[in-house]
Amino acid sequence: MPSFKEEAFTIGLVQMRCSADPNENLENAKWKIREAAAQGAQIVCLPELFRSQYFCREESAELFALAETIPGPSTDTLGRLARELRIVVIAPLFERRAPGLYHNTAVVIGDTGEIEGMYRKMHIPDDPLYYEKFYFTPGDLGFQKFDTRYGAIGVLVCWDQWYPEGARLTALQGASVLFYPTAIGWHPSEKQQYGAAQLDAWVTIQRAHAIANGVYVAAVNRTGYEGPPGHGLEFWGSSFLADPFGQIIARADTGREEILIGSCDPKRMDEVRRNWPFLRDRRIDAYSQLTQRWIG
């Protein structure tokens, strides 16, 4: 049955700093979720791997100890909070699926406190200070839509945000909002020369997903510096919500914690798609080669 809903709903995006103490980060997240709910948010999204600092800056087997099961401590705690506040929470976690098998996972916790679904990050990067292939097995749940009490949503994670295929496949299932919980920032040695262009590209590609698919896009980043001086990452914050034509509804600063609140109205999606009918004009008969690695 179609899950399309006509009612507008409000989302909250939590841009936060992360300390070395997982329990401190969980408590901080809980307070910020409460603050977002107090401002009217019905769906609240936390940043990628919010329970710890971004440990993928190095390859260390000891850091696998940060992982947790799903269900587990974080989903239990946030489930109770979601049920109390009658909201939906998107919680990105380091998942211990089995001994030796780990994922970068975003859990959708419904307003009853139960897990309504989860998404495992599909695209896994391997770059200086982003050594994620050491830790994470690529996702095997595919691109999904989650029907929550307030609206149909899609969740992808960080590096996924650079790939139009994931956005398209999620939008085609009926998601009204694409959430991208993220941990992205500047290398200290690159910021002066490339920093502005990197940030601009990050915003531009995600606004393009909103335009191409006629959906809302919510990017939720962490902020603050993590790591030793000169060899860490300065997370650039700049979380934002874009409407179905890519217009920025709300945007956070680069260097401080913030909670963004914005409304997502399916009627706006309908308006944009009527005037810019990209989905209507897709040539689905001509795209089979997209499943090939290279066409030469």
Q: Which domains are assigned to the chain?
A: 9-281 (3.60.110.10)
Q: Helix (H, G, I), strand (E, B), or coil: what is residue 236?
A: strand
pTM: 0.96
Alpha carbons 253 and 235: distance in angstroms, whole number: 11
pLDDT value at residue 119: 98
User: Residue 195: is it exposed, middle or buried by C-beta count within 10 angstroms (0-12/13-18/19+)?
Assistant: middle
Rounded to the nearest 10 degrees, how much is the dihedral formed by the CA atoms of 167, 169, 175, 181? -40
- Annotated catalytic residue, options 45, 56, 95, 121: 121
- Annotated catalytic residue, options 18, 45, 56, 158: 158
pLDDT tens per residue across all 296 residues of the chain = 445 567 999 999 999 999 999 999 999 999 999 999 999 999 999 999 999 999 999 999 999 999 999 999 999 999 999 999 999 999 999 999 999 999 999 999 999 999 999 999 999 999 999 999 999 999 999 999 999 999 999 999 999 999 999 999 999 999 999 999 999 999 988 999 999 999 999 999 999 999 999 999 999 999 999 999 988 999 999 999 999 999 999 999 999 999 999 999 999 999 999 999 999 999 999 999 999 999 98
pLDDT value at residue 3: 53
Alpha carbons 278 and 213: distance in angstroms, whole number: 7
Q: Examine the residue annotation and report whether 30 is marked as an active-site residue of this protein.
A: no
Alpha carbons 110 and 108: distance in angstroms, whole number: 6
Structure tokens at 31: 């307070």
Q: Are 53 and 94 in contact (CB under 8 A)?
A: no
Which phi and psi angles does 139 have, rounded to 5°? Answer: -60, 150
Write the CA distances from 158 to 3, 99, 122, 155, 202, integer angstroms: 26, 25, 10, 10, 10
- Annotated catalytic residue, options 48, 132, 234, 258: 48
pLDDT value at residue 282: 97
Region of residue 82 (left: phi > 0; alpha: psi -120 to 50; beta: else) = alpha
Alpha carbons 224 and 145: distance in angstroms, whole number: 31
Q: Examine the residue annotation and report whether 158 is marked as an active-site residue of this protein.
A: yes
Q: Examine the residue annotation and report whether 145 is marked as an active-site residue of this protein.
A: no
CA 19, 241, 191: angle at the middle one, nearest 5? Answer: 55
Q: Are 235 and 184 in contact (CB under 8 A)?
A: yes
